[in-house]
Each structure stands twice: as C-alpha cells, then as structure tokens.
Amino acid sequence: MGATRRTVLGAAAALPLVGCSRPAPIIVVGAGVFGAWTAEHLRRKGKAVLLVDQMGPANARASSGGESRMTRGTYGRDEIYTRMARASLEEWKRLSDRSALPLFHDAGVLFCFQEMIDYARDSIAVHERLGLPLQNIANAALGQRWPQMNFEGIEFGLFEPEFGALMARRAVEETVARFVEQGGTYVLAHATPSESGRGLLLDGAPADAEAIVWACGPWLPKVFPAVLGERIFVTRQEVAFIAPPDGDDSFEASHLPGWADFNGGDLYYGFPNLEGRGFKIARDTHGEHFDPDTGDRRMSDTGAASLRAFAERRFPGLAGRPFTEFRVCQYENSSNGDFLIDRHPSLEGAYLLGGGSGHGFKHGPEVGRMMAELVADGTAPDARFSLASKQTVQARSVL
Ligand SMILES: Cc1cc2nc3c(=O)[nH]c(=O)nc-3n(C[C@H](O)[C@H](O)[C@H](O)COP(=O)(O)OP(=O)(O)OC[C@H]3O[C@@H](n4cnc5c(N)ncnc54)[C@H](O)[C@@H]3O)c2cc1C
C-alpha cells in the first residue's frame, strides 16, 4: 500500500483552507471507515471535500485499524442492519475488485447457537423476507462440514455463504485513495471545533467549511464532551491471533468461515487464518472504559487466557499452538448499539457521526451514504440514528 499512502499524502499540497477564493469545502474530520465513506459519497454528489485525520486512515489507534472485520447479515430482528450490510457489501466488493490486494474474503459466516433463541428465529425470518441465503445446519451436519470445530453443546448453526471478512485497514486506505484519485483532498491534521459550526482549527490554523462532519469515532466524547461525553461509551476490547498447526489447511479461509458463538450471551467470534496472519479470536463482551489516547494497549493475562481457553475448546487442533499477535482496540458504543448520524444540536453546519458500537465497520458505505444525504440534501436517516435516541445509560440491544 506504499503507493496508496503516497497518493493520499501528496494531495495535501493542494489544500483549500482559509482565505482562498474557491468556495469552502465540506470538511470531514476522521478518516476511519465512517468518515472515509462520508467523504467519498459527498464527492460523488459533486461536493468539494476535505478529509482530515490526526494520524492517518484506519491508523493503529482508530477503531477501524487492525486487519479484519466481519461482515454478516444476521442481526436478529434489526432488519435495518441486515439491509445496510447487504447494500454495503456490494460497495465493498466493487472496491475489492478494483484493488490490487483483496479487501473482501468470501469465506462465509457461521453463527453457533446453544438453543433456539429469538435472535436466531428473527434472523431466519428477516433473511427469508429479504431473500438472503441462510443455511440452518443441525449439530451432526455441522461436525461433518467443519471437522476442525468441536460443536459440543451447539444445537445448530446459521451459515451465511455470501458474507465473510473485510480487510479493515487496507479497505479504508483504499477508500481514501480512490476518493483522492477522483478529486477529493486528504490531509493529516488535528482538528479542533470552534464556536461556529462552519469553522474549525486545523493544527491550530483557522479554516472555514460549507459544513463539517465530525466522524471522530472513540474521540467523539472528548471533542464534544457536553453533547457526547455521557452518550458514547468507549470500551477496551482485546484480540488475539494463534498460529494454526503447520501445514494444516483446515484453518484457511477455503475451509473455515468467519464464526461467532453465542456461548450463552458471552459471545466469542473470530476468523480463519487470513493471509497468514493467524487464527483470530476475540470476545465481544464490553470491556472496561478505555481512553483512545492514553489507554494501555498491551494484552491482559486474563484476556489471553480466556481467549486461549475458548479457542482450544471449540477448535481442538489449536491446543498448545503459540499466540502470534495481540491487539487492544476500542469499541465506541452508543447506549444501545445504534449508530449516531445527526446534526450537532446547537452548532449550525456541524454534524455528528459515530457510535459504531463494535459492529459498524461492515456498514461504512451505507453509513457514509446516509450522512452525505443528510449534509447535502437535508434527508434525515432513520430516527434510530438520531442524537435524541441516544441515552446516557448503557443498555445494549443491537448484536
Ligand atoms: C476489536 C474490534 C472488533 C470489531 N469487529 C467488527 C466486526 O467484526 N465487524 C464490524 O462491522 N465492525 C467491527 N468493529 C467495529 C468497527 O470497527 C467500528 O465501528 C468502526 O471502525 C468505527 O469507525 P469510525 O470511523 O467511527 O471510527 P475510527 O475508525 O476510530 O475513526 C475515527 C478517526 O477520527 C480521527 N480523529 C479523531 N479525532 C480527531 C481530531 N480531533 N482531528 C483529526 N482526526 C481525528 C482518528 O484518528 C480516527 O482515524 C470492531 C471494532 C473493534 C475495536
């Protein structure tokens, strides 16, 4: 991606900031998956767009950083996310087809259930309604199809053959690179809000905008403490990679899908050995409060032990295999898991975008489209993405 990085940074030379005769651009602050796709959709609408990030697209501290993200349509009764995942996947696939390296691995996704629960029942109904492929596989057949997994205690699995894994950092970098190639501008800078919704400081220098979208992910509570300090909950999340047995192809994406295990409500999920990185495993339960600037990104001993124990129980072939890598990232949760796509409540011309809540990556293209329509056309998205719907008490309902 060296060439991509150079292209992106090269565009900074043409910055249309203050005091120039051209019309002020729309500024999008934050080149994570939400900001990158918002910038791209605004550009497609013919807008002059300046995308800004303090550390780079999908950087190591951003929630969009890291190797892989699952894309799936199973969302229980929350059909809106199934629709968004499906529409977004089309964009991801188009981008992946044009990219030198794959952005999407169509490995499929398997959700394992200990018993029939509403989430599974509702997912089946939504997929039938939308005509989305979903295979309901009983325990015995699961074992035959994926013999590298131990399905003890699992009653059935729901398998989505058309979904899989997105290569997260690479996908965001590619989105930004395309945006720049097509005429958008990207610059590395730290942004600070001002008292006007259409003004801000970029590395301390004032800049004017037609509108400003603040897509700052886990930094949103710091950027707007009065509005979002108690409405976005940033939590520490730990991820581990384990080396599969040498020469064993049963952990490759050709033989193993992305998977999630409800595990009685304490959900674990992971990926096959994508591009030789190792078998990935993580626990979806929200961790403790985390500061994206100062939080300690070293893996905890208890986290590593619990991920190893789960991996070895469900995937016996991984017993004793070494960890290859750890990552500590953060979720930026809204009160219930619904995204935030809205105007700032008091700053005219400013918009708030975030609340990805541990499941936002796959939806980047659709979230960006919705925010671009709000900014450019005044079209409000679904009410569940409004600021008014965001509470100050965490009560997760979207999974
Ligand atoms: C461990 C983990 C696993 C996940 N798994 C999945 C999954 O399997 N599937 C899925 O769909 N989703 C998943 N997610 C969720 C998904 O990754 C996030 O919801 C999504 O990446 C959020 O993107 P964002 O653009 O809102 O935030 P970010 O990616 O954090 O982007 C915000 C950007 O804003 C920049 N910024 C902040 N403040 C400023 C400022 N003042 N000036 C300039 N720039 C600024 C930051 O540098 C950053 O780049 C996971 C998340 C984590 C952490």
Write the pLDDT tens digit of every residue in 113-160. 999 999 999 999 999 999 999 999 999 999 999 999 999 999 999 999
CA–centroid distance, 264 to ligand 1, in Å, is 27
**Predicted confidence band at 22 (pLDDT cuts at 50, 70, 90)?**
low
Locus of tokens 């599974």: 120
172-212 pLDDT per residue, tens: 999 999 999 999 999 999 999 999 999 999 999 999 999 99
User: How far is C-alpha 269 from the geometric centre of its chain's CA atoms?
Assistant: 15
Model pLDDT, residue 397: 87
Pocket test for ligand 1, best of 34, 50, 63, 179 (most atoms within 8 A of CB): 63
CA–centroid distance, 63 to ligand 1, in Å, is 3
CA–centroid distance, 218 to ligand 1, in Å, is 7
Query: Which ligand 1 atom sits nearest the alpha carbon of residue 192?
Result: 41
Pocket of ligand 1 (CB under 6 A): 29-35, 52-55, 59, 62-64, 69-70, 190-191, 215-219, 223, 237, 239, 282, 329-331, 354, 356, 358-362
* Cα dist from 8 to 56, 177, 350, 391, 395, whole Å: 10, 6, 25, 37, 39
- Please check whether residue 347 is in contact with residue 197, taking contact to mean a CB–CB distance below 8 angstroms: yes
Query: Which ligand 1 atom sits nearest the alpha carbon of residue 354?
Result: 26
CA–centroid distance, 97 to ligand 1, in Å, is 24
What span, in angstroms and rounded, lies between the C-alpha atoms of 145 and 22? 60
Model pLDDT, residue 10: 36
Under DSSP, the state recorded for 59 is -
Determine the average pLDDT of the residues in 385-392. 95
Pocket test for ligand 1, best of 328, 361, 362 (most atoms within 8 A of CB): 361
**Predicted confidence band at 24 (pLDDT cuts at 50, 70, 90)?**
confident
Domains and CATH numbers, the chain: 2-63+169-231+336-389 (3.50.50.60), 85-164+233-333 (3.30.9.10)
What span, in angstroms and rounded, lies between the C-alpha atoms of 199 and 174? 28
- Range 277-314 burial, b when 16+ CB lie within 10 A, else e: bbbbbbbbebbeebebeebeeebeeebeebbbebbbbb
Pick the more confident residue, 373 or 394: 373
